[in-house]
Chains A and B, each alone.
Chain A
Amino acid sequence: MTRGERRSFFTGLAFTSPWIIGLAVFTAYPVLASLFYSFCDYSILKTPVWCGLENYKELVSDDLFWLSLRNTLFYAGLSVPLGTIVALSLALLLNADVRGKPFFRVLFYLPSIVPIVAASMLWIWIFNGQVGLLNWILTPLLAPFGLTPPAWLVDPTWAKPALILMSLWGTGNAMVIYLAGLQNVPKELYEAAEIDGATGWRRFWHVTLPQLAPVIYFNVVMSIISSLQIFTQAIVMSSAASGGTGTETDGFPARSTLFYTMHLFATAFYDLRMGYASAMAYVLFIIIATLTWLATRISRDRLN
């Protein structure tokens, strides 16, 4: 490094220091500290006491840990593929040449900018078993079969599917990214496909989808990460449905909406078991990292 280079290196460092310090203090330090605490009996006010692998061992035999993990995987397992299909379909429709295209694009994107708590309050009413909009539509549809729609948020069987349904409402962000991806597909490929006699479906399958693969990969990874961390809407909706029963983290009804991060939050901030909660956070980190790695592997194989 010449003198000038060194100088500009330090100048650059000085200019980026606010970010570097922020990262170190607010991200790197907590991440490392929680790794340490995950091996401690720690309740934030008392001195942490090293307890080795005790927290991790207890996790294995904690049936609420497994239940919350199952609930979360169920949610993610359905909401990620469904969300991908819905977002991609919307993007394809909105990419078509129709009148009022900008209007529809805005319309379908709008829900994504509604704050999640506000959206949750809205959906609580939509899912209301007696006067809800959803059952108002479903009741006459199911009546000929002698069926009645469920009470959604207060029924342990249907509370999770309700949250999945609601998650489809917020696919606007993914949709916009797909839309951008679609516009980057070279026109020549479609022309070539047309000359070869490819029809709509084949064109989608052999041109659009392969061209979109990197975008799909990105969206799927992002939605795996976010759906495994589902928290706000579950807390707002389950506590509202339970009638505000003192703690909002019991996963009402009957723990059917006890998701991983809710269990973690309750353990940390209600039960004050920060060490155990840190261990849970690290396990979730490992799960997410593994799934992301898996998605990368699969898509790399496909892309080549």
Chain B
Amino acid sequence: MSFAAEKVKVVYWDKWTGPEGRSLRAVVDAFNRSQDRIEVEVLTVSPVDRKTLVATAGGNPPDIAGLWAYNIASFADAGALTPLEPFMREDGQTADEWQARYYPVYQRITRHNGVVYAAVCQPAMITLHWNKQLFREAGLDPERPPRTVQELDEYARKLTKRDPRTGEITQMGFLPQEPGWWPWVFCRWFGGQLFDGENITLATDPRNLEAMRWVASYTKDYGKDAVTKFASGFAGQFASPQAGFFSGKVAMVFQGVWYNAYIREYKPGLDYGVAPAWPSAVPGIDDFSLAEADVLVIPRGAKHPREAWEFIKYLSSPNLQAQSREELTGIELLSYIQEKNSPLREWSPFFANHHPHPKIDVFRRLSASEHAEITPDIGIWTEYHREVLAAFANVRLLTATPEEALADAHRRLEKSWARHRRSLERHGQLPAKQNAEVKP
């Protein structure tokens, strides 16, 4: 038999090891078994984004790369990605038609300036998680999460404990920097805009300032030294029993759909709740949430783009009739093993009704929210992100006022943005108009 020799080998680089890596391999194996023409081979590569970029520059990229969603804008501007619409058209659909399978937030997360560059691989929604036991101890209703920011602050006060002897903080209700992965989203949460499609609006949008004032209020109200010292005890701990939420030191935390599995691993039996949405910060923005995703892209110059597309299609088109674990395929199989939500509007009966995450409905509902937020679509996001992180740290540590911190970052970002556009222009890449984020 010579069939095996004729199979096209598709090289797929991904970042995950451990349980995530194993589940990705399970899906790849399922794909390889489902047909006899293509063999996808997964390689774990770290850090996958930079290695992919260098390999692409060297003319020898993988056929598929599992990047982070925030890579898309800068990679696309660098000319490192293959637009996916031509493949969709070969299948007789426009990008919009093809992507209609996704919830709007996941349509947006795969695009840069309206062009589709990626498929969603490991989707996640993020919302407030709270420790019911600590709520009980503080005399709060353990079944009722805060519904507004005012309530969040009030609960946080009630949930904070100090050592009566030394005055040191031993437990806090909430800490803006725990986990501190998305400080920029606080601006969006408060209704602010980071980028309007044309200009940087970090310091010019007053609602961003409101958000940073709120961040500073935590340091001011509880005392800078006390908070710093308290937080340093578990700073940087996430996948560890010492993490703030697992060790009962922080009672409320924004985390993603993945948290259930981590809680089971690091604090089995923790009695926790998942809030139906972020507490509302400003009128008119309800059901706020943050969406994140790993994405699959086909780097420019990939040897087997068509076969890579076949795998992407398999992943994005699961068996929506699945009635059992064995019948799950594609993204549903992956999300089932990872206990995450599916990015698709339609879920198979088995996936929807026998999902291992007890609160999966919350995350599904949030996926559909029109206030589900994603990383701003701007080619200088890596720099923007660092600027926000630095501003956030300065605000929180009171080393700068919120006004100063945002103005400082804004000034540098304006310069970078102008330079980035100049560079795109130089390379003949500047689109007729920088589109604003695609709204659902």
Contacts and interface: CB of A to CB of B under 8 A. Distances in A.
A161 interface: no
Contacts of B427: 41, 46-47, 49
B181 interface: yes
A86 to B, nearest CB: 27
B383 A129 contact: no
B272 to A, nearest CB: 20
A129 B56 CA distance: 43
B233 A130 contact: yes
Contact of A243 (B238, B385, B386, B423): B238
B53 interface: yes
B399 A156 contact: yes
Contacts of B182: 246
B349 interface: no
Nearest to B178: A243
B423 A247 contact: no
A41 B426 contact: yes
B409 to A, nearest CB: 11
Contact of B389 (A51, A64, A246): A246
A100 interface: no
Given A243-B180, A244-B238, A247-B389, A153 B380 contact: no
B88 interface: no
A253 B426 contact: no
B181 A255 contact: no
A46 B382 contact: no
Interface string B346-390: 000000000000000000000000000000000010110110011
A45 to B, nearest CB: 5
A223 B115 CA distance: 50
Interface string B158-189: 00000000000000000001111111000000
A219 interface: no
A25 to B, nearest CB: 14
Of the candidates B181, B228, B236, B383, the one having the most CB atoms from chain A within 10 angstroms of its own CB is: B236
Nearest to B242: A131
Contacts of B323: none
A298 B144 CA distance: 71
Interface in B374-412: 380, 382-383, 385-386, 389-390, 393-394, 397, 399, 412
Interface stretch (A11-19, A180-188, A264-272): A264-272
A266 B400 CA distance: 24
Nearest to A239: B236
A124 B232 CA distance: 10
B386 A250 contact: yes
Interface in A143-182: 148, 151-156
Given A242-B389, A252-B389, A129 B232 contact: yes
B124 interface: no
Contact of A151 (B70, B229, B426): B229
A100 B325 CA distance: 66
B57 A44 contact: yes
A243 B229 contact: no
B232 A45 contact: no
Interface stretch (B9-17, B74-82, B330-338): B74-82
A51 B423 CA distance: 10
Greatest chain B CB density within 10 A among A152, A249, A251, A272 is at A272
Given A45-B53, A156-B397, A249 B232 contact: no
A240 B236 contact: yes
Nearest to B228: A151
A242 B228 contact: no
B282 interface: no
B165 to A, nearest CB: 13
Contact of B390 (A41, A240, A250): A250
A44 B389 contact: no
Contact of B236 (A41, A47, A156, A242): A242
Given A245-B181, A245-B389, A254 B394 contact: yes
Nearest to B394: A254
Interface in A216-244: 239-244
A250 B228 contact: no
Contacts of B238: 243-244
B54 interface: yes
B181 A251 contact: no
B205 to A, nearest CB: 22
Contacts of A254: 390, 393-394, 397, 399
A63 interface: yes
Contacts of B386: 247, 249-250, 266, 270
Interface of B: 50, 53-54, 56-57, 70, 74, 78-80, 177-183, 225, 228-238, 300, 380, 382-383, 385-386, 389-390, 393-394, 397, 399, 412, 419, 423, 426-427
Interface of A: 41, 43-47, 49, 51, 58, 63-64, 124, 128-131, 148, 151-156, 239-247, 249-255, 266, 269-272
11 contacts: A45-B57, A46-B78, A155-B397, A242-B236, A243-B236, A247-B382, A250-B389, A254-B390, A269-B50, A272-B53, A272-B78
Which 3 residue pairs of A and B lie closest in terms of their CB atoms, listed nearest first? A129-B232, A130-B233, A151-B232
